[in-house]
Amino acid sequence: MKGARILIVEDDPVIVEVIAQRLEHDGYETEGYALGREALEAISKSNFDLVILDIMLPDIDGISVCREIRRKSNIPIIMVTGRGDKLDRVVGLEVGADDYVVKPFMSDELLARVRAHLRRVTDYAPRGVGERIINAGPLQLDMHAHQVIKGDQQIEVTPTEFRLLLALVEADGAVLSVPQIFQQVWGRDSGNQSLIETHIYNLRRKIEKNPSAPTYVLTIRDAGYRFNTDAE
């Protein structure tokens, strides 16, 4: 997805320059802001394809910025956190971030994440009319709107949650291992398992009647996760 517009929200000008140069060298357009409020204003006026968002900002924190973006858009969000900010990473994913990188990071690592998320957006573009809706027990996955429907209720999910649920549903009851989920959802072979666990947790909160005793998305100990095709 060359030519994609990427918003960088980071108050360290050196980091912004490094990220921008690497992305622009790969054919992307970038725009950077040091303040969260400036970034939100930019998003309200322009279209971006992906956001790289630091958690620690001078005015409002990245968690609040992420939450505000998610209220209006499903744009992919990659959060940038400090090494010891595990709680912030979890909260960031809970409010709608799709992925995170931990400082210090290599620019090539971030570029790989950017490529993968933009590729996911392209891969999950609307299919033919006959494939618009995928039925999964009482759930329906709308491939055009990237929405989940349960009965007469429309469930708001993030792009990553949608891809995660779709991957499990398309496995048709088979168990997906952690590496398989990383490959299908994030486009890479491995990562921190807590990333998957947090997205599974958030997804269950949205689609399960009792998230602590799930009937749709099941954990298979020492194996991975599967979608229960017999759930009603």
Contacts of 94 by beta carbon, 8 Å cutoff, 6+ apart: 198, 201, 202
Classify domain 5-123 by CATH number: 3.40.50.2300
Q: Where are the domains of the chain?
A: 5-123, 129-227
Q: How confident is the model at residue 68 (pLDDT cuts 50, 70, 90)?
A: very high
pLDDT at position 129: 42
- The answer to whether the beta carbons of residues 222 and 193 sit under 8 Å apart is no
For the four alpha carbons of 73, 13, 83 and 62, in that order, the dihedral sign comes to negative
Q: SS in 3 state form for the chain?
A: CCCCEEEEECCCHHHHHHHHHHHHHCCCEEEEECCHHHHHHHHHHCCCCEEEEECCCCCCCHHHHHHHHHHHCCCCEEEEECCCCHHHHHHHHHCCCCEEEECCCCHHHHHHHHHHHHHHHHHCCCCCHHHCEEEECCEEEECCCCEEEECCEEECCCHHHHHHHHHHHHCCCCCECHHHHHHHHHCCCCCCHHHHHHHHHHHHHHHCCCCCCCCCEEEECCCEEEECCCCC
Residue 12 clears pLDDT 50, i.e. is over it: yes
Question: How far, in Å, are 3, 52, 115, 155, 179 from residue 183 at the CA level?
Answer: 24, 21, 13, 25, 6
Q: Which of 25-39, 42-56, 116-130 has the lowest mean pLDDT?
A: 116-130
pLDDT at position 221: 92
Q: Which of 17-26, 66-75, 139-148, 206-215 has the lowest mean pLDDT?
A: 139-148
Q: What is the mean pLDDT of the chain?
A: 88
Cα(108)–Cα(105) distance, integer angstroms: 8
**Judging by DSSP bridges, how do beta strands 147-150 and 139-142 pair with one another?**
antiparallel
Task: Give the count of beta carbons closer than 10 Å to the beta carbon of residue 8.
Answer: 23
Residue 231 clears pLDDT 80, i.e. is over it: no
| pLDDT tens readout for residues 120-160 | 765 555 444 445 788 888 899 988 778 899 988 899 888 88
Pick left, alpha or beta for residue 195 (phi over 0 → left; psi -120 to 50 → alpha; otherwise beta): alpha
What count of Cα atoms within 13 Å lies in the side-chain half-sphere of residue 61? 10
| pLDDT tens readout for residues 69-91 | 998 888 899 999 876 667 777 88
Provide, rounded to the nearest whole percent, the portion of the chain with pLDDT above 90.
57
- The answer to whether the beta carbons of residues 161 and 203 sit under 8 Å apart is yes
For the chain, give the longest Cα–Cα distance: 53
- Regarding the domain delimited by 129-227, which CATH topology (the fold level of the hierarchy) does it fall under? Arc Repressor Mutant, subunit A (1.10.10)
